[in-house]
């Protein structure tokens, strides 16, 4: 069993943090089918009551039993239905716009002032709770990308209690409610990922296993905690107590890439997320991720990702490049 250091897992999971996540409890009467085309990077679904099937195009159907929690990774469309053969009746589009298959709005089915959709449950209905991370982040996606497209988790008693807490909070309207819901959703996600990493069934990636190595794990934590510092192979080797050659060889073997390539990728992922913050500037972002100037950061970003930082921000947030440039 692989056990990751708490601070390392926290660092890896820091990015996929909910900010105004879309949460909904749906009451579904058979036959029912939902086509999910919201392009969300990450979603979680749990069956409070009843069962469901998750169907991704060209993949085998996956059964969700009552109380199971599924983590669904990636923006590809999929269907959730009461049977593998039930066609979708409802489509969830980008922005969590709900329509029928003809494109007509079904927003009126959501109860005013609540996060619940559908009619009152009865003996034959299913109740599904879904939480959607609506904004893609870079930090942590390296870890989440290692997950299967559909990860079904059999919950512990603690997990079931979290789901009940989440469901109960969704029916309230109190100050700070959105923040409370976001953090409960985050906690549930971290518990599921931690459980998966510790299971014998997970195909844990090589770089993730390196976290438990006393030398490489220590170096990774240094780079994660302070990417802005002027790390070199020699400096990292000194901090971890081995020779430069030993450190470089061991890091490359365990992680699958050289220390400096990993550091560059980490810095640019941090920078990509920082660009999403309100009023951020290239100069400030460059400094925070270890680049001496916005020009050096921009050149590295474009070389690695094929687009400039400003173009990346425009595509993600829909902000005009001109307005961002003027803010510099």
Shared domain check, 13 and 130: yes
**Taking a C-beta distance cutoff of 8 angstroms, is the pair 13, 208 a contact?**
no
Split into its structural domains, the chain has a count of 2
Residue 83 sits at φ, ψ, to 5 deg, of -140, 160
Q: How far is Cα 47 from Cα 64, in angstroms, rounded to an integer?
A: 7
Instruction: Verify that 65 and 176 share a domain, yes or no.
Output: yes
Looking at the domain assignment, is residue 1 inside a domain?
no
Domain that holds residue 114: 6-198
Question: β-pairing, 78-81 with 33-36?
Answer: antiparallel
Residue 203 lies in a domain: no
Give 51-90 as a DSSP string.
-EEEEETTS--EEE-TT-EEEEESS--EEEESSTTPPPSE
HSE (side-chain half, CA atoms, 13 Å) at 8: 22
Residue 320 has what pLDDT? 44
Residues 145 and 266 in one domain: no
- Print burial letters for 209-239: b (CB count within 10 Å at least 16), e (below 16): bbbebebbbbbbebbbeebeeebebeebbee
What CATH number did the domain enclosing 80 receive?
Answer: 2.60.120.280
Res 113: pLDDT: 47
Q: Would residue 52 count as lying in a domain?
A: yes
Based on the domain organization, do 170 and 92 belong to the same domain?
Answer: yes
Residue carrying structure tokens 């299971």: 199
Task: Please tell me whether residues 84 and 183 are part of one structural domain.
Answer: yes
Joined together, the tokens standing for residue 115 give: 């996060």
pTM above the 0.85 mark? no
CATH number of the domain that residue 246 is part of: 1.10.10.60
pLDDT tens, the chain, 328 aa long: 334 444 445 555 555 455 667 888 999 999 999 999 988 888 999 999 999 999 998 889 999 999 999 999 888 899 999 999 999 999 998 877 888 888 888 765 554 445 788 788 888 899 999 988 876 666 566 677 778 889 999 999 999 999 999 998 888 888 888 888 888 988 898 899 888 877 766 666 676 778 788 999 999 989 988 999 999 999 999 999 999 999 999 999 999 899 999 999 999 988 988 888 878 899 999 999 999 999 999 999 999 999 999 888 887 775 444 444 434 4
């Amino acid at each position: 069993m692989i056990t990751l250091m708490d601070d390392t897992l926290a660092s890896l999971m820091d990015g996929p943090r909910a900010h105004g996540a879309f949460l909904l409890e749906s009451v579904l009467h058979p036959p029912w089918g939902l086509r999910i085309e919201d392009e969300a990077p990450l979603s979680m679904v749990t069956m409070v009551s009843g069962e469901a099937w998750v169907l991704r195009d060209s993949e085998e159907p996956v059964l969700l039993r009552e109380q199971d929690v599924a983590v669904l990774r990636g923006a590809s469309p999929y269907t959730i239905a009461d049977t593998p053969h039930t066609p979708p009746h409802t489509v969830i589009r980008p922005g969590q716009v709900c329509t029928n298959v003809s494109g007509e709005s079904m927003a009126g089915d959501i109860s005013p002032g609540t996060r619940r959709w559908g009619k009152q449950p009865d003996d034959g209905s299913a109740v599904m709770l879904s939480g959607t991370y609506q904004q893609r982040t870079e930090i942590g996606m390296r870890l989440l990308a290692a997950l299967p497209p559909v990860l079904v988790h059999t919950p512990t008693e603690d997990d079931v209690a979290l789901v009940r807490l989440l469901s109960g909070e969704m029916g309230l309207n109190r100050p700070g409610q959105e923040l409370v819901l976001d953090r409960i959703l985050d906690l549930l996600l971290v518990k599921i990922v931690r459980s998966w990493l510790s299971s014998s069934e997970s195909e844990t990636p090589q770089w993730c296993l390196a976290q438990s190595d006393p030398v490489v794990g220590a170096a990774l934590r240094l780079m994660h905690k302070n990417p802005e510092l002027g790390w070199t192979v020699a400096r990292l080797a000194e901090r971890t107590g081995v020779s430069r050659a030993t450190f470089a060889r061991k890091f490359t073997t365990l992680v699958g890439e050289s220390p400096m390539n990993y550091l560059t990728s980490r810095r640019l992922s941090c920078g990509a997320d920082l660009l999403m913050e309100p009023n951020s500037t290239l100069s400030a972002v460059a400094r925070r991720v270890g680049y001496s100037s916005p020009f050096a950061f921009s050149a590295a970003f474009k070389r690695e990702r094929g687009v400039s930082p400003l173009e990346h921000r425009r595509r993600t947030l829909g902000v005009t490049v001109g307005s961002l440039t003027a803010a510099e």
